[in-house]
Amino acid sequence: MTILGALIAVAIEVALLIILAFSIKYRPVFIRHHPQTEEVL
């Protein structure tokens, strides 16, 4: 694996962790404002 490949892999992992953290933090608020989306998610 090249250095660029490693950097891309790390960036993707960090992005996924950020998205996961935001989804956990804001999911109750999102469901509260949009109850119908709970079935979709």
Whether this model's pTM surpasses 0.85: no
Q: What does the DSSP assignment read for 23-35?
A: HHHHHHHHHHH-T
Domain boundaries, the chain: 3-33
Give the per-residue pLDDT at 37.
54
The per-residue pLDDT string of the chain (41 residues; one tens digit each, 9 = 90 and over) reads: 699 999 999 999 999 999 988 888 777 766 666 656 555 55
Give the per-residue pLDDT at 23.
82
Q: Give me the residue label for tokens 């079935």.
A: 39
Give the per-residue pLDDT at 14.
96
